[in-house]
Structure 1
Amino acid sequence: MKRTSGARLCATAAIGALSLSLLTACSDEGSKDSTDAKTSASASASTSSSAPAAKAFTAAELEKLLLAQGEVKGYKVDSGDDTLPKAKTQVKTDKPACDPLAWATAGLAPGDTDANASNSVSEDKASTATAQPEDLADAFDIDITFVGLSSYEGDGAAKAMKAVSDGITACAAGYALSADSESTKVTKVAAEKASGTGDESLAFTEDVDMDGAGTATFHSDVVRKGNTVATFYTVNFSAMSEGGDMGDVPAAVITAQVAKLK
């Protein structure tokens, strides 16, 4: 598969957690080895005991708290309805402890709640472009961040954060992931420096096997503000077709989204 056709396939395929399952189809040519994931522990400030007892938001209320077009300069906002899985049952792992990680990368609630909403935020290079891209692959050299919001009763949000933190440790050696009848292997999970936003935050990387042709490294951030948890997962179409590092979650997206949470 040529890079251009591979990029086109990646652009039209389901992504979020599904992008991990579709890496094989999008990477027929050789890929570069992924960069080593950072291993620094992450957390911003608070503990489970500080979680409020506020009533959880509904899915409809969370939809209104998602970033909207025009709220992040240099980025476009899309509903993500065509690319993100609709339910946790569509995303499965071979280790229950790893489920919160897979859900977080799919814009789904990492904890026990039905109140969930998601969308995607992508670089708006067209607004600042001064020249045409050299080829179609260059046109797909953009970062897309999948954002998920979930809300919880009582200390549920703090428990969701702990589930993700525990998953990072328990799944350090990797896990198998299946989504929409496709499967892949996460070979390594590691904590990295978190954004430090909200009441509590953590971040992790996942190295994903590209069918024996190297690995791709994906970055995720998870932030709790009050009883709401925000998840962020970034994919670069061009990098996905080549392997290597997908790039950090844009700080501007995290900051703007967390600022909207009450």
Structure 2
Amino acid sequence: MRTALVRRSVLTASAVSLALLATACGADKADEKKADAKPSAAATSAAPAAKGKTDAELGALMVTQAEVPDYTGDATATGELADVDKHAVTTDKAECKVLVQSQAVQKIGTPTGIARQMLSAKPKPLAPDASPEEQAKAIQKTIGTTVTMIGLSSYDGKGAEELLASLKAAGTACAGGFTATTDGEATKYEGVKPGPAVTGGDEVVSLAITIVDEGGDKATGQLVVVRKGATVATFNSISFLGTTESPTALIDTQVKKLG
């Protein structure tokens, strides 16, 4: 079930491309006669447009397991994330594509670079003298541990800001639920609500998204997206047994590493 939902939470790009506004330059005053317009000092000294990072640069900024000792990596699952962009998906509400696409750490729009990995929270160690009941509970907690997919993406110009704007809009437009179809398989999303408070970066979107499977079972995941300059860090966390735990330390460590 875990693998199916993780793999099925991939979406095609919902390109969000707003036109950049050009600022008109003022012209120096002449006397009563016409003079050639010249750019103002403010225009000539305007800050250059943001420049996105490459795959290699983002890879170097990705949090490592050594930096988050309470998490363990999954090389196989991380490798599978390289294929998430291959899946074509539709949604009954166009605004909601960006939500599930972010859950699957897919490319959104036209990033200059991207890096991905999957980490799982380590279960608490079991006492040597644990009872059979305690051992059974520990096994269940291990199966239901919170898994977090991390995606770093970077954009030229206003791309990162546009992505956050589209996620904020989707959080409102999709609050009552929606349906996504991935490679012909439908998934029902019961609702979208504000998620746990998260600080850091220049902008943050935190959402709790509830999925309903074919048998009617529900799983609520946490989607946190943080913008730092032209780079966006996406964290999709979910547990398919029990409650999804917010990966606060993981998010803090990753965002600080972005500078």
In the superposition, the TM-score normalised over structure 2's length comes to 0.73
The runs of 5 or more residues in structure 2 that have no matched partner are: 12-46
How many residues are matched? 216
- The partner residue of 1:67 within 48, 57, 63 is 63
Q: 1:20 to 1:103 in 2, by over 3 A?
A: closer
- The partner residue of 1:76 within 72, 88, 100 is 72
Once residues 18 and 182 of structure 1 are traced to their aligned partners in structure 2, the CA distance between those partners, rounded to angstroms, is: 8
Which residue of 2 is the match for residue 186 of structure 1?
A: 189
Residue type of the alignment partner of 1:78: D
1:109-188 matches, cutoff 5 A: 109-113=107-111, 115-125=113-123, 128-131=125-128, 133-134=135-136, 136-188=139-191
Q: 1:20 to 1:211 in 2, by over 3 A?
A: farther
Q: 1:194 to 1:88 in 2, by over 3 A?
A: farther
| TM-superposition CA deviations, 1:197-219 (whole Å, max 9, x none) | 11110111112223363532221
Kindly state the Cα deviation for residue 220 of structure 1 after the two structures are TM-superposed: 0.8
Secondary structure, aligned partner of 1:122? strand
Farther off after superposition, 73-82 or 153-162:
73-82
Once residues 260 and 165 of structure 1 are traced to their aligned partners in structure 2, the CA distance between those partners, rounded to angstroms, is: 24
Which residue of 2 is the match for residue 16 of structure 1?
A: 6
Which residue of 2 is the match for residue 218 of structure 1?
A: 221
Verify the 8 A CA contact 2:195 2:206 in the aligned structure 1.
yes
Verify the 8 A CA contact 1:108 1:150 in the aligned structure 2.
no
Once residues 10 and 189 of structure 2 are traced to their aligned partners in structure 1, the CA distance between those partners, rounded to angstroms, is: 8
Matched, 1:256 2:247: no
Verify the 8 A CA contact 2:9 2:101 in the aligned structure 1.
no
Q: 1:137 to 1:16 in 2, by over 3 A?
A: same
Once residues 59 and 206 of structure 2 are traced to their aligned partners in structure 1, the CA distance between those partners, rounded to angstroms, is: 23
| TM-superposition CA deviations, 1:124-173 (whole Å, max 9, x none) | 227x3435842753431311111111100011101110011111111122
Q: 1:194 to 1:158 in 2, by over 3 A?
A: farther
Q: Percent identity?
A: 33
Kindly state the Cα deviation for residue 85 of structure 1 after the two structures are TM-superposed: 4.4
Once residues 14 and 210 of structure 1 are traced to their aligned partners in structure 2, the CA distance between those partners, rounded to angstroms, is: 10
Once residues 5 and 53 of structure 2 are traced to their aligned partners in structure 1, the CA distance between those partners, rounded to angstroms, is: 26
Once residues 141 and 248 of structure 1 are traced to their aligned partners in structure 2, the CA distance between those partners, rounded to angstroms, is: 10
Farther off after superposition, 70-79 or 226-235:
70-79
- The partner residue of 2:236 within 233, 236, 242 is 233
Verify the 8 A CA contact 1:88 1:108 in the aligned structure 2.
no
In terms of Rg, which structure is larger?
Answer: 2
Matched, 1:100 2:94: no
In the superposition, the TM-score normalised over structure 1's length comes to 0.72
| TM-superposition CA deviations, 1:34-61 (whole Å, max 9, x none) | xxxxxxxxxxxxxxxxx98331111222
Kindly state the Cα deviation for residue 15 of structure 1 after the two structures are TM-superposed: 4.6
Verify the 8 A CA contact 2:112 2:156 in the aligned structure 1.
no
